[in-house]
Amino acid sequence: MPTRMIKWIVPKIVFMTAAIALIFMARGYQIDLQQRKIIRTGILDLRSQPKGASIMLDSLQEGLTPRSIGSLKPQRYTLTLSKPGYHTWQKYVTIVPEFATQLFDILLYPAKADINPIGVITYPAGSVIFPHPDGQHFAVLTLHADADPTLLFELSSGYQIWQTTLPAPVTDASTLHFTWAPDAGTVIVQYPGQKTTANFIVNLKKQEITDLSPMLGSKIYVSNERLAVAFTDNNTVIFYADAMKQLASIDVTKKSITTISQLSIPLIPLLANKPNILSSTQLIGIISDQNTPPRYQLAQMDLPGGTPKSMSPDLSFATIPLIYFSPDQSSAFIEDGTRDLIVTDLFTNAPVVVTLKDADAKPFGWSPNGDFFIMLTQQNQLIYFDQLSSQTTYAYQIDARLNLESLCWHPNNATVYLKTQTRDTQKHQLLAVELDGKNPTVLLDEGATETQTIASLDTDAPILCPDRKNLLFFAPAIGTTQDHLFGLALPQ
């Protein structure tokens, strides 16, 4: 072959080979020289709060977050994120061929806690916190010798809304029961009074308290037991008067009462739901049979005029069970002292009942999206039930020297915050743990230098996660005996 032709052909072959290689690489292919074959690669997509964290993949520097790293061999890598002034984050990640592994909820916590007081209101030690299920609102009850003021807050649009005094004396804060409306604009407050149960509607929007007794007096007799109530919407409350076996509703706005149904069996309303505007309201409650001792069953009924029907033979209990409903009201965790259950598809004709193996686990609540329910075993292990897989999964082993006092979720549904106390020194910590148990980070350590703005974390109040900006907790400030609301800044 003439030299001139060779010089003409070779560059074209090289060009075509390079072009084909580039096309293959663009489509996720790579030549593995060790295995002497073409392999498919994967992508790692990273987002962190805050941004600008240095990425180390095994021993290679890969830039700063946010970043998408392509053409990665399908294998396990050690991923490390670091940023000056923050705790280092590290985890194993496995790259799958032709797949983008996305890590969008990576939180890097400051090495020094950023603590700020929220508002200027203080509370005497021993105040009791009543959080709304949405985590956006809560009420604080403070007991005095001569009065019982309740401080009510709305965290989504500024903190204090209203301070008021309950009309009837409260002798024991643990006997109070709060039932919040879905929008947190109204709350039903119930507690034992001197002669009968005190039942009040607290309207936060109008800043007024209404005593239910005059409304109930002539129409429905209420025995000295608290009303079991359920909101059907933000303005309507359903309750059952056991003496007359009547199901009734109260219009919070009009302050009027209407009898809905005359029932032949007792029913405790728990949860009301309107699946859509075309269907009637459905009510979930507890019914009991006439046996001695009675059995209690989870029941469902249509409103108005329906009849309570047992939801499943598996949902029968010797005592009135403790029930935690998920935020979307589609599932519930139930315990009765002998077994723990997860019930899904509540507002259907065929609810699914799953019996959990760890019947001794202490419940700590649902994730904000309702996918996970987290519990603490007697071995001090955090475990969670995953609705998608219907499996219980190990999350994190808490140090045997620590007692878990309270827990709340980050809105990303992938991180939980723990308030713990050491069993020997009685010191407290605030700890962040990812749901898979990785990257446990001490955010606040009682007695450390960064806690000099607060005197102690030794309060009965739970920690709260109302938004992505602050982890909220109550603690006395240095030099005071009263509790303040503090915010521990979260990664942004």
pLDDT for 328 equals 82
Q: Could you give the CA distance from residue 72 to residue 28 in angstroms, rounded to a whole number? A: 9
Q: What's the rounded Cα separation, in Å, for the pair 433 and 396?
A: 8
Q: What's the pLDDT score for residue 277?
A: 44
Distances (CA, A) of 370 to 298, 333, 469: 20, 11, 21
Q: In whole angstroms, what is the distance from residue 3 CA to residue 25 CA?
A: 33
487/470 Cα distance (integer angstroms) = 5
Q: Are 255 and 215 in contact (CB under 8 A)?
A: yes
Helix, strand, or coil (residue 220): coil
Q: Is 449 helix (H, G, I), strand (E, B) or coil?
A: helix
Question: What is the structure's pLDDT at 66?
Answer: 96
- How many whole angstroms separate alpha carbon 467 and alpha carbon 313? 40
Question: How far is Cα 370 from Cα 378, in angstroms, rounded to an integer?
Answer: 24
Residue recorded with tokens 């060009």 = 15
Q: No. of H helices and E strands in the chain? A: 2, 41
The confidence score (pLDDT) of residue 431 equals 93
User: Tokens 């985890």 sit at which residue?
Assistant: 91
Q: Give φ, ψ of 45 to 5 degrees.
A: -105, 120
d(Cα 318, Cα 314) in Å, to the nearest integer? 12
Q: Give dist(CA 9, CA 5) in Å, integer.
A: 6
The DSSP bridge partners found for residue 247 are: 240, 261
What contacts 160, CB < 8 A, 6 or more positions away? Answer: 119, 121, 151, 152, 153
Closest CA to 413 of 43, 154, 135, 64: 135
Let me know: does 486 contact 446? Beta carbons within 8 Å: no
Q: How far is CA 2 from CA 5, 6, 461, in A?
A: 5, 6, 90
Nearest to residue 420, comparing CAs of 445, 403, 437, 395?
403
Tell me the C-alpha to C-alpha distance, in Å, between residue 312 and each of 263, 350, 397: 20, 8, 35
Grouping H, G, I as helix, E, B as strand and the rest as coil, residue 6 is helix
Q: Count Cα atoms within 13 angstroms, Cβ side, for 172.
A: 6
Average pLDDT for consecutive 10-residue bins of the chain (492 residues)?
A: 60 60 56 61 92 94 94 91 96 90 92 82 75 78 66 62 77 80 85 75 84 67 60 82 73 81 80 59 83 85 82 87 87 87 85 82 90 93 91 91 92 93 86 93 78 76 80 82 84 88
Q: What was the pLDDT predicted at 185? A: 85
Tell me the C-alpha distance between 269 and 320, whole Å: 12
d(CA 479, CA 122): 13
Instruction: Give the residues across from 31 on adjacent strands.
Output: 38
Q: What is the 3-state secondary structure (H, E, C) of 227-260?
A: CCEEECCCCEEEEEECCCCEEEEEECCCCEEEEE
The Cα-based distances of 368 to 9, 193, 232, 233, 351 in angstroms read: 64, 35, 21, 20, 21
CA–chain centroid gap for 110, Å, is 23
* Predicted pLDDT at 82: 96
Q: Round to whole Å and give the CA distance between 273 and 275.
A: 6
